[in-house]
A and B are shown apart, each in its own frame.
Chain A
Amino acid sequence: MKLHLTVNGAATALEAEPRTHLADLLRDQLLLTGTHIGCEHGVCGACTVELDGAPARSCLMHAGSCDGATVRTIEGLVDDPVMALLCEAFSAEHALQCGYCTPGMLMTARDIVLRLPEADEDRVREELAGNLCRCTGYRGIVRALLAVLASRRRPGSGDPDSPLSGCLA
């Protein structure tokens, strides 16, 4: 079937079997290999992308259902200020080891920062439960997220709505 997607801002026309899932489309046809494939049944979170503005499992979205969708992958967030803060914090807090889960973790982390600005550690852990890290790097990942949340809450750090307000300690 023919399908049309907007991927990282660019309109894209593709040809695929209806059974092909979005993660394979992104990786094999568009060479966007930042989206990783882990369990392929919606449990591990490695393939998480932004679909029509909200995080979704790209391994569970088959080509037919994706037709007309707007997709943002980790590559599309290079210039995103929240993602920049998260990347810096992930590095500072040693929140990745092998890096396999990291793109999915970052997509989820960005959603947490934007949707739940008041999240505490318990809430962060609960919200991260759908992303598995087999290096067991959760402590660093949670610390990185909490650092970004705290930096955006810090008083006197300029416009609180600006993602660049404040900086990491």
Chain B
Amino acid sequence: MKPAPFDYTRPRDWSAALAALAAGARPTAGGQSLGPMLNLRLAMPETIADLRHLPGFGVIDQQRDCVRIGAGTTHARIEDGAVPGQVGAILARIARNIAYRAVRNRGTLGGSLSHADPAADWVTVLPAFPGHAIALGPEGERRIPLGCFVTGVFAVALQETELLQAVELPMLPEGTRFGHWKFCRKPGEFSKASACVLALPGSAPRAVLAALDQRPLVIDDAAALLAAPEAEAARIVEGLRLADPWREALARVALRNAAQEAA
């Protein structure tokens, strides 16, 4: 249960971080996913680049119609209400049920999203938002719509030379509805089925079904799901052809319950 040897570097600015990345370093933020993988030797990087000390990494910046959340913002700060407005209230509710407080004190929004464990909470919730992941690479900033950021199991749209700098979410208009449901046998464990629905007034509601053995399913127009949660959730999940009937039933219930809450 001890990691294989690795070198450690702590870049002080973003260009040094990108240089470390280009030299093959594995980036880490809170280390709450990479830490266990190192101890279990599921990951054996030669060098780890610790991003936690980068300028602005944990800064939350409210702008006129959006909030930019630094990738290094911890789950605990989000749980404690550091993000303003209704979007902050939604994120706080999600953050509170991520793992355990001792993990939330170190684990970060950007680290979790970039790691892209299919059962992770931000992987379930953020693709529902009409916002962007802000990637920084040698060519500068690139804005990636959150709905297509996670591309697979432990796979994201970042290029090998890019780091996730921040997540930008819109401030939500009055009348926005949100629903979320996940199943854990024990509080804090990775979920076995997760879904959420976000409905902004005047635009098509979006739904996400995650904790599958594949990339999260993003439904860009979930109006039919909100109109008939039970039947539509059954139809959508059937189309996934999940091998395990227990997981299939949980996925159906997750999607239905999230839709019923948001309807």
Residue of B nearest to A115 (CB): B101
- Asked if A89 is an interface residue, CB under 8 A from chain B, the answer is no
B241 within 8 A of A: no
The answer for the CA separation of A19 and B35 in the assembled complex, in Å, is 10
Nearest to A24 among chain B residues (CB) is B2
Is B7 positioned at the interface, with any CB of A under 8 Å from its CB?
yes
Q: Nearest chain-B residue to A63 (Cβ)?
A: B8
Docked Cα-Cα span, A64 to B9, in Å, equals 8
> Chain A residues with Cβ under 8 A from B8's Cβ?
1, 18, 62-65
Q: B residues 1-47 with Cβ under 8 Å of A?
A: 1-10, 28, 31-32, 35-36, 38-40
- Does B102 contact A108, Cβ atoms closer than 8 Å? yes
Give Cα A24 to B39, complex, Å: 12
Cβ-defined contact, A60 with B101, below 8 A: no
Contact yes or no, B6 A19, CB < 8 A: yes
Closest to B80 in A: A115
- Of the listed residues B31, B48, B99, the one surrounded by the most CB atoms of chain A closer than 10 A to its CB is B31
Across-interface contacts of A19 in B (CB, < 8 A): 2-6, 38
Max chain B Cβ within 10 angstroms of own Cβ: one of A18, A42, A111: A42
Interface residue? A163 (CB, 8 A): no
Query: CA A64 – CA B48 in complex, angstroms?
Result: 9
> Number of B residues whose C-beta is below 8 Å from A?
32
Report chain A residues within 8 Å CB of B36. Answer: 41-42, 60
Closest partner residue, chain A, to B3 (CB atom) = A19
The distance from the CB of B257 to the nearest CB of chain A, in whole angstroms, is 19
Task: Confirm or deny: A72 has a beta carbon within 8 angstroms of a beta carbon on chain B.
Answer: no
CA distance A85 to B68 in the complex (A): 42
Within 8 A of A (CB), among B50-108: 50, 52, 76, 99-103, 105-106
Q: In the complex, what distance in Å separates the CA atom of A88 from the CA atom of B48?
A: 43
A40 at the interface (CB under 8 A from B): yes
Chain B's closest residue to A111 (CB) is: B101
Q: Taking CB as reference atom, which chain A residue is nearest B42?
A: A41
Please name the 3 residue pairs, one residue from A and one from B, whose CB atoms are nearest each other, closest first.
A130-B100, A64-B8, A60-B35
> Which residues from chain A sit less than 8 Å from chain B, CB to CB?
1, 17-21, 24, 40-42, 45, 48, 51, 54-57, 59-65, 67, 108, 111, 115, 126-127, 129-131
Contacts beyond the supplied A59-B39, A111-B101, A129-B188: 18 A-B pairs with Cβ under 8 Å: A18-B48, A19-B4, A19-B6, A40-B39, A42-B36, A45-B100, A56-B102, A57-B103, A59-B35, A60-B31, A60-B32, A60-B35, A61-B31, A62-B8, A62-B35, A65-B31, A126-B187, A129-B187
